[in-house]
Structure 1
Amino acid sequence: MTNKIIDWMHPNPLFVHPEDPLKRVLHILLENNRTEIAVVEEQKWKGIIKLQDVIQKDSSGKGISLFVRNCDRVASADLLIDKLQDIPTYIVNDEGELIGEITAKELFHYHTEITKQLKQKDEMLSLYEMVFDTAYEGLTVVDDKGIIRLFNEAYSRYVNVPTEEAIGKDAALIIENTRLPVVLKTGVPERSQAHRLQGQNLVVHRIPIWKDNKVIAAAGILVYEGVSEIYQVIDQMEELDKGKHSKLKKDQPYKKNLLTRFEDLLGDSPCFTKTKKIARKASQSKAPVLITGESGVGKEQVAKAIHNESPLTNGRFISVNCAAIPEALLESELFGYSSGAFTGAEKGGKPGKIELAHRGTLFLDEIGDMPLTMQAKILRVIQEKSVERVGSNHQSNIDFRLITATNKDIKQMVLDGTFREDLYYRLYVIPIHIPPLRERAEDIPIIVSHKIAELNNEYGDEKTIDQLVVQWMYTQPWKGNIRELINFLERLYVLAENQHMTLENIPDLDDRQRLTSYNFLTNKKASESLSGEEEKERIKETLEHVNGNKTKAAKLLGISRATLYNKISRYTLE
């Protein structure tokens, strides 16, 4: 519940009418132990009548209209209850109708509930403090100026500085080699990074804290001490993963696992988390999977993750792009051919992609581009679990997991007659849709962080990216999705002359666009301090900047979509 009057008022207030006799009014007042009562005429609020007036007057059959008093204890239902000065207070709507009242009883109920909530919050705060201070990991939080505001006992032990002494100090003076100021500047998280502190090698997270489209703080977390804990975790993971491909041992140097896993699919947004959850479940079966999504969203990466987490992980992952192979060659590519099947055929023949996927996974990308004649042959393979090479009469039994992907509307293609309905239902067993990047823009910082770390490693550099560039990325449509973002980041990285990449380094912006973006993104004036006309212009400017996309506009303005729609309506901006 909120602290608005409407949530606490008594919705059925006592009232009388002007024509009611004094005797009846007196009876109601005494029966309810009241010293005054509201007067209503034709559902409209008129005022009050007090007990003392009723007692002093003749209590015969006369009405009370002559004794009605004005009362300033009237409030709107949207008013905050803690703003009330006196009770009882009568609640009247915009039409002048009495809709409720706040008496001592309602006020007591409110204060009792507030006291209860404050107690719960104090208990929860105490619990948070306890968890923060007793956590094994070193935890610290700095404000937007880099000043330490929270510093737990574990971190205190690492740096050998008392918590009381660290709080209020610049993080750079307390934490050796800290990069928290960099994270504050860039707004990009740095997860699982190697860090040397007090002569000890650690693995750390540095996480920016965003609010109202700006970084207001950053958290530093010490995750692992040296490599021994990492190897312990690897051993535990191997135990869980027993019988699968993992071969890393304690006495081996760490090598990057090149297999794509679900943890490599970057993004924690609700819609993408849902996609990964379905994909994880799909990986535990051998049922066909149909992955849909726009070009560049990472359909093949999801397919690889499903294969690598599946019971068929020891088998091959065979990928075929149906749109990239000419129709005349597609059959021999998929089914293979026998010796002498056609001029130029290899002696002894050649197995096709389907045979190569035996006891593994066959991934048919762009299945929507497969010709109808080939669709019929693929359907037969799925049904009969066997394959026949071109130019041969021999059937070979096969067992594989089929994953298909497309950026087209297969359902509509079925209706249009360009895709076989029977094949569609064979493929459409576990559908997985990957949302476009514009629907999960909150995943941009983690993707940026990962790619820049990758580029720094590749080029042996330590470049960083400005927070304004990340904010600018939120406003872009990214029609090419992850692929476009990754390509953009590499272009930005290579062309940037300085170590810190800013809006100035974005190659696709001309001077006018760059200036507009800079002015827009650096306008930090809080909405509550704007006048009506200023707010109207701010909303109008934001909508123009994002080409009318209200979701993006609301995010940049730091308000909800519902609030934005209300303000658009109020300022007639449609």
Structure 2
Amino acid sequence: MMEKETRYFEIFNKVLELTDDGFIVTDIDGIILDINEKYCKFLKTTKKEAVGKSIFKFIPNSKMLDIVENRYTEESVIHTYEEGTTEETKVIVSRSYVEDDNNNVVAGVAQVKFRLDSLDAAKKLMEQYSTLNYYKEQYQALQENAYEFDHLIGEDPVFEVQKRRASHISKTHFSVLLTGETGTGKEVFAKAIHNSSDRKDYPMISINCAAIPNELLESELFGYEEGAFTGAKKGGKKGKFEIANHGTLFLDEIGDMPLSMQAKLLRVLEEKKVDPIGSTSSIPIDIRLICATRKNLHEMVLNGTFREDLFYRINVINLEMIPLRNRRNDINLLAKYFLECLNEEYRKEIDFSEEVKICLYSYNWPGNVRELDNIIKSAYAVCDGLQIRLKDLPSRLVRDKQSDVNQLEKEMNYHKAMEKFEEQLIRNYLLQSRGNVQKAADLAKIHRSLLYKKLQKYNISIYEYRKR
């Protein structure tokens, strides 16, 4: 029996040692039978000094005797200590009496929650809640923009082939390098690859290597421990690799990453673990890496500004994005999509005039899809009617075509404008097919015999396109 009591006593003491709360036990006369170290520190005493002494010596306004004598319990009440006797003046206390098997009161017990500890715990919970809320918002934003290949706008045959290829790539775990001009939709393709992969239930984390100062890039990617450097956040910070674990990490503009960081990135990819700044232990990671750049990395390797070993590590699969000028059939399709989004948002029914459609089709789009999106928004903002007209477009779009437009306006009507538009379309199909009528008809999605009639109507010779 004594062994059992001793064991329980040891367990009880261990619990009191581990808890952040203060505990005290007294007999029916208020003599302290037990007290844990946390409460001793709070009362500015020691366990050796406190046990066997009256509770009133340390807490003159204690209610313990009243609790024992009148047999009642208090839960989570505020107790105020006399000033100068304790570390804090107010705490939250729960008190109760203790009975034996014969219903005789044998002791009183109190649990004390220290205000500063409670505030610290609340602060930690709030920080965790804020972090959780941040990721919840990020997740919701991703869901609202849950790009998948079926949602990507475009009917150009080359673009369709590119989508199918990317869809096949998404079923693997290989690293992907997306190259091409700015504004061609590299991040959109990265999101579609992620959302079509078996990692879609985990996050895709994006970071623009060109937008973050070199001295901060390491901490953003790998994270850091508390106190790792001056200004380090209390509690440390997770890096993008750790946050993206089991998901996808998208490194945009990787061609702007400094050589020193390239070496550290290569090590992480080879060892599949990260070392947060200031940490003595590594964190294993499992991510799918997708990188993007507008630069010629192969040329940078030859110039010594990009590591050759890293280039081959990230360039397992390469997707070269198609400039918008090379998929002209999609220009007005995309413009219509952007316009419909704006109409839905602002509850309007604005449309494009025919001359604007011709102008959009004819422009070279150095900024690609992003430039098209921005120009539609700009024109929408200044449009004062139910149609976006040439006067609503930036001057650079209409400058090259102004002479053609002036001629059209002299005799402008719907049929004339559409015929001009159709002729330009046919010439573009022939240009893409190098004068091959069957291929041009396939691009236009019309029968070859109909295309021959159109060629005759507009007096277009296929031979001039075969020479190009």
TM-score, with structure 1 as normaliser: 0.47
- Aligned with residue 267 of structure 2, among 380, 387, 406: 380
- Aligned with residue 438 of structure 1, among 319, 325, 344: 325
Equivalence for 2:159: 272
2: CA distance between counterparts of 1:298 and 1:508? 25
Equivalence for 1:452: 339
| 1:517 CA drift (Å) | 3.7
> SS in structure 2 opposite 1:358?
coil
Percent identity, please: 45
- Aligned with residue 348 of structure 1, among 235, 238, 258: 235
Equivalence for 1:563: 463
What are the equivalent positions in structure 2 for 1:30-69 lying under 5 Å apart? none
2: CA distance between counterparts of 1:435 and 1:559? 31
CA contact (8 A) 2:434 2:465 kept: no
2:246 is aligned with 1:359: yes
2:184 is aligned with 1:297: yes
1: CA distance between counterparts of 2:245 and 2:318? 23
2: CA distance between counterparts of 1:511 and 1:382? 48
| 1:269 CA drift (Å) | 0.7
Q: Relative to total residues, which structure has the larger helix share, 1 or 2?
A: 2
Equivalence for 2:92: none
State the structure with more CA Rg: 2
> SS in structure 2 opposite 1:272?
helix
2: CA distance between counterparts of 1:365 and 1:511? 33
2: CA distance between counterparts of 1:380 and 1:492? 48
1: CA distance between counterparts of 2:400 and 2:278? 61
CA contact (8 A) 2:375 2:394 kept: no
Equivalence for 1:501: 388
2:280 is aligned with 1:424: no
Shift in alpha-carbon separation, 1:309–1:381, aligned structure 2, 3 A = same
Equivalence for 1:322: 209
> SS in structure 1 opposite 2:395?
coil
Shift in alpha-carbon separation, 1:560–1:292, aligned structure 2, 3 A = farther
Equivalence for 2:278: 391
Shift in alpha-carbon separation, 1:564–1:551, aligned structure 2, 3 A = farther
Equivalence for 1:313: 200
CA contact (8 A) 1:472 1:517 kept: no
What are the equivalent positions in structure 2 for 1:15-414 lying under 5 Å apart? 257-414=144-301
Shift in alpha-carbon separation, 1:511–1:309, aligned structure 2, 3 A = closer
1: CA distance between counterparts of 2:180 and 2:459? 29
> SS in structure 2 opposite 1:355?
helix
What are the equivalent positions in structure 2 for 1:532-551 lying under 5 Å apart? none
Equivalence for 1:138: none
Shift in alpha-carbon separation, 1:362–1:493, aligned structure 2, 3 A = same
Cα deviation code 1:160-209 (max 9, x no counterpart):
xxxxxxxxxxxxxxxxxxxxxxxxxxxxxxxxxxxxxxxxxxxxxxxxxx
2: CA distance between counterparts of 1:329 and 1:434? 30
Shift in alpha-carbon separation, 1:489–1:384, aligned structure 2, 3 A = same
Equivalence for 1:486: 373
Quick one: which amino acid aligns to residue 280 of structure 2?
A: N
- Aligned with residue 476 of structure 1, among 342, 363, 368: 363
Cα deviation code 1:277-308 (max 9, x no counterpart):
11101111111110011001010000001001
CA contact (8 A) 2:146 2:195 kept: yes
Cα deviation code 1:213-258 (max 9, x no counterpart):
xxxxxxxxxxxxxxxxxxxxxxxxxxxxxxxxxxxxxxxxxxx953
Cα deviation code 1:87-110 (max 9, x no counterpart):
xxxxxxxxxxxxxxxxxxxxxxxx
| 1:394 CA drift (Å) | 0.8
1: CA distance between counterparts of 2:410 and 2:159? 31
The ranges of structure 1 where at least 4 consecutive aligned residues each deviate by more than 4 angstroms after the TM superposition are 509-515, 520-525, 549-562, 565-568
1: CA distance between counterparts of 2:294 and 2:377? 25
For these two proteins, the number of residue pairs brought into alignment is 293
2: CA distance between counterparts of 1:510 and 1:328? 41
> SS in structure 2 opposite 1:497?
coil
Shift in alpha-carbon separation, 1:429–1:493, aligned structure 2, 3 A = same
Quick one: which amino acid aligns to residue 366 of structure 1?
A: E
2: CA distance between counterparts of 1:516 and 1:460? 35
2: CA distance between counterparts of 1:440 and 1:387? 41
> SS in structure 2 opposite 1:362?
strand
1: CA distance between counterparts of 2:462 and 2:410? 22
2: CA distance between counterparts of 1:511 and 1:396? 56
Shift in alpha-carbon separation, 1:458–1:553, aligned structure 2, 3 A = farther
Cα deviation code 1:523-571 (max 9, x no counterpart):
999xxxxxxxxxxxx9xxx9xxx9xx97799999968785335899xxx
2: CA distance between counterparts of 1:520 and 1:567? 30
1: CA distance between counterparts of 2:303 and 2:200? 37
> SS in structure 2 opposite 1:297?
coil
Quick one: which amino acid aligns to residue 434 of structure 1?
A: M
| 1:433 CA drift (Å) | 1.0
CA contact (8 A) 2:360 2:397 kept: no
> SS in structure 1 opposite 2:250?
strand
Cα deviation code 1:6-64 (max 9, x no counterpart):
xxxxxxxxxxxxxxxxxxxxxxxxxxxxxxxxxxxxxxxxxxxxxxxxxxxxxxxxxxx
CA contact (8 A) 1:338 1:390 kept: yes
Equivalence for 2:6: none
Cα deviation code 1:397-430 (max 9, x no counterpart):
0101100000111111111111111111111111
TM-score, with structure 2 as normaliser: 0.58
CA contact (8 A) 1:318 1:363 kept: yes
2: CA distance between counterparts of 1:318 and 1:261? 17
> SS in structure 2 opposite 1:364?
strand
Shift in alpha-carbon separation, 1:376–1:520, aligned structure 2, 3 A = farther
| 1:519 CA drift (Å) | 3.5
2: CA distance between counterparts of 1:328 and 1:466? 50
2: CA distance between counterparts of 1:375 and 1:388? 15
Structure 2: 5+ residue stretches without partners: 1-142, 413-419, 441-453
> SS in structure 1 opposite 2:165?
helix
CA contact (8 A) 1:474 1:552 kept: no
RMSD across aligned positions (CA): 3.2
